[in-house]
Amino acid sequence: MTKLYFNAEDLGQISIGAFALSVPISFSEEAWMLAANLPVLNLVLVVVLSLSFIALFAYQSVFQANIKARVWGFWLRILLAYALTLLVVSVVLLALDKWPLLSDPLLAMKRTLLIAMPASMGAIIVDSFDKE
């Protein structure tokens, strides 16, 4: 069945996938320190890699290399998957008291974006279950 929309099932699958991969990494002090020491240019590269790989996976798996009639749906799924991943990662870090948004917003953003790299892959992979 062709899906041109984003529904509650997709929301749940993306959240579960993002949570599954963000939790073990969020507990790692190495991830916290790497985020603190990572230059912004490298962080931009991490975001570009994240978006590129989830787009590639979505194109091949979720959309089965057929996006001609669903280009907007394709890009919407990628952006929503990444945004939801960022939200899930932020909540996990907040629960661990490792998301210092008020005291150090740059560090909070860096930790979120770094941990979102593997979490976004988990999100899009779980989202690909039972598609088409």
Residues 28, 35, 90, 108, CA torsion sign:
positive
Q: What is the rounded average pLDDT for all residues in the chain?
A: 91
Mean pLDDT of 24-36: 96
Taking residues 89-102, what's their average pLDDT?
Answer: 97
SS in 3 state form for 38-82? CCHHHHHHHHHHHHHHHHHHHHHHHCCCCCCCCHHHHHHHHHHHH
pLDDT tens track for 57-88: 999 987 888 888 888 888 998 999 999 999 99
For the whole model, what pTM was predicted? 0.90
pLDDT in the model for residue 1: 43
Q: State how far the alpha carbon of 31 is from the alpha carbons of 26, 36, 77, 90, in Å.
A: 7, 9, 27, 14
